[in-house]
Amino acid sequence: MYDYDAIVVGAGVAGLGVAAMLQQSGKKTLLVEKYSLPGGRLQSYGLPGGYQVDLGLHLIEMGNKGYCHEMVASVGKEIEWAKFSTTLELYHQGKWVDMLEYLQLTEEEKASFIEIMKKVAAMQDADFNYWDSRSFSSWLDQVGIEGTLRDLWENMSMIMTTIPDAREQSAGECLYIAREALIKGRAVLIAAYPRGGMSGIINPLVEAFQELGGTLQLGTPVEQVVFEGRKVVGVKARDDDRSPIAQEWHYPSTRLITAPLVVLALPIWSLHQVLDFNPESSPLPAWWIKRIEDIRGERTGLFGYIVATSRPLMERNNFLATLSCKRTGLPFQGFSPTAFDEGVAPPGKFLLVTDNVAEPCEVEDKFNLSRLMEMHWEDIKEMFEFSDEEVDFALPYFTAGCDGLARKPTLTGDFKPDVQAPGVDGLFFAGDTYLGRGLAVEGASKSALLCFQRITG
């Protein structure tokens, strides 16, 4: 007799989505999360004074036309969207300019661009599969995009992938994102901001799961997935007495929680913490272990600030980008949450979120990160024309795993690990490091939907 029908490990957007859908389908489901707050990379915090601050820089690709909205709606909840990003602005010659103003295309160039967009909108899955092993710069070369139009595309592909160099970006993934936006939103890249920030996504999923009868256990680290032969029988969760000795000096005590189905909604670089990766003892195939080990270091990094001021530093609900900042030399991304939803800050206060895209090694070295943070701060003061004295607070943040598995050639589409573990019964995966396309939250949501479909047949 099992304790549960299913256990989901990780309460990010994918884990919450899978857990809610499984519970809705009639499976008694336990969702365990090591942190004291659900949301994963979409955690959202209420700060004193009335600020609602997200864990980093997030807009949601496609908004109410996307997989995240579909997933939440499938469990009976609704995401309330604030505003869509209407256009992309680029930092050029000391000011922010709309992308159309930046391009200054001739009529002939406009006609050529429209024809290319028609071809992208008509692309099929097999076309994306072909381009998954090729760089985005090679696609730009093939279709003959040059000049300011190429600059624009490279800015957009940087946003799509969180990878600075188009030679390192998967053309298949970029073209898929562009096709979806063109078909559903008549633009190359569209995104929206949920009212209340990312809590506007996470809270409805938590509510749905618990209202359906699911059990959520926060602050519960999972130590390992337990097998009998090649069949999942549950997980071992840590019993933590919170003492320094228990946390640092001894082998953790655990308790077994049983279920015939376990979904790991964890990034691939965390799997070795709960799965045996020794080919001599693991129930998982050696080839699969080798594949995960080969690609788990393929992450993307960024660092930046969440800035609060008493005057708006950006009043337009647009996404902001440039391929190279003056001091850091790194690509820039940013937007103003209060330009999308005034309710995430107290009356008369404003938020700006900024980041530089970087290689993980650049942010994992704390001394290098400190230097980059100082340069980035000076860059954004110049770009948004404010002084230190105008700032109510500036929260620094960084991550070396912001958008899942790096969207590089041979790491997207069918090259990504499947949502079902090979060679064992009852083990599945969900999240933006597994099979599923789309930018960040969209990729995680599509993976969760695919995982649920695979489980339930």
Condensed to tens digits (0 to 9), the pLDDT of residues 300-324 reads 999 999 999 999 999 999 999 999 9
pLDDT above 90: residue 1: no
Which residues, other chains included, contact 73 with Cβ-Cβ below 8 Å and sequence gap of 6+? 79
Percentage of residues of the chain with pLDDT beyond 70:
97
pLDDT over threshold 80, residue 250:
no
Kindly state the tokens that stand for 40.
């994963």
Does the pLDDT at position 50 exceed 80? yes
Question: How many angstroms separate the CA atoms of 271 and 108, rounded?
Answer: 52
How far, in Å, CA of 19 to CA of 205, rounded?
9
User: How far from chain centre, in Å, is Cα 220?
Assistant: 23
Contact 17, 72 (CB under 8 A): yes
Report how far residue 436's alpha carbon sits from residue 429's, in angstroms, rounded to the nearest whole number.
11
pLDDT band at 225 (very low <50, low <70, confident <90, very high): very high
Q: Under 8 Å CB-to-CB from 169, ≥6 apart: which residues?
A: 135, 136, 137, 157, 158, 160, 161, 163, 407, 408, 409
Whether 243 shows a pLDDT value over 80: the answer reads no
CA distance 296 to 284: 16
Q: Buried b vs exposed e over 223-242: b needs ≥16 C-beta within 10 Å?
A: bbbbbeeeebbbbbbbeeee
Longest CA span, the chain: 71
Q: Could you tell me the residue ranges of all domains in the chain?
A: 6-45+198-297+408-456, 86-189, 300-399
Q: Helix H segments across 5-78?
A: 13-24, 67-74
Q: Where are the beta strands (DSSP E) in 67-195?
A: 81-84, 88-92, 95-98, 191-194
Whether 188 shows a pLDDT value over 90: the answer reads: no
| Amino acid 87: pLDDT | 84
Average predicted confidence (pLDDT) for the chain: 94
Tens digits of per-residue pLDDT, 89-123? 999 999 999 988 888 888 888 888 889 999 999 99
Count of beta carbons in the 10 Å neighbourhood of residue 68: 31
Summarize the confidence of residues 196-217 as an average pLDDT: 97
Q: What is the mean pLDDT of residues 48-70?
A: 93
Give the gyration radius of the chain's Cα atoms. Answer: 22
Q: What are phi and psi of 254, to 5 degrees?
A: -135, 165
How is domain 6-45+198-297+408-456 classified at the CATH fold level? FAD/NAD(P)-binding domain (3.50.50)
Confidence grade of residue 266 (pLDDT, cut at 50, 70, 90): very high
CA 37 – CA 26 distance, rounded (Å): 26
Least trusted range by pLDDT, from 59-73, 148-162, 336-350: 148-162
Whether this prediction's pTM lies above 0.85 is answered by yes
Residue 97 bridge partners (DSSP): 90
User: Comparing C-alpha atoms, which of 453, 451, 454 is closest to residue 8?
Assistant: 451
| Residues 300-399, CATH architecture | Alpha-Beta Complex (3.90)
Q: What's the pLDDT score for residue 249? A: 67
Structural element, H or E, at residue 435: none
Residue 248 has pLDDT above 90, yes or no: no
pLDDT band, very low/low/confident/very high, at 276 (cuts 50, 70, 90): very high
Output the pLDDT for position 104: 86
Pairing relationship of beta strands 191-194 and 60-61 according to DSSP bridges: antiparallel
**To 10 degrees, what angle do helices 67-74 and 13-24 make?**
30
**What is the tens place of the pLDDT at every residue in 390-438?**
999 999 999 998 888 999 999 999 999 999 999 999 999 999 999 999 9
Same fold, 6-45+198-297+408-456 and 300-399: no
The β-bridge relationship of strands 29-32 and 6-9 is: parallel
Q: What is the pLDDT of residue 245?
A: 62
Residues 320 and 92: their CA atoms lie apart, in Å, by 11
Is there a contact between 73 and 65 (Cβ–Cβ < 8 Å)? no
Question: Backbone dihedral region of 348: left (phi > 0), alpha (psi from -120 to 50 degrees) or beta?
Answer: left
The answer to whether residue 241 scores a pLDDT higher than 70 is: no
Q: What is the pLDDT of residue 113?
A: 86
* Cα–Cα distance measured from residue 403 to residue 267, given in angstroms and rounded to the nearest whole number: 10
How confident is the model over 121-132, as a mean pLDDT? Answer: 96
Dist CA 309 CA 183 (whole Å): 38
Q: Which two tokens stand for residue 380?
A: 């954004």
pLDDT band at 81 (very low <50, low <70, confident <90, very high): very high
Instruction: Assess whether pLDDT exceeds 70 at residue 242.
Output: no
Of residues 109 and 18, more confidence is placed in 18
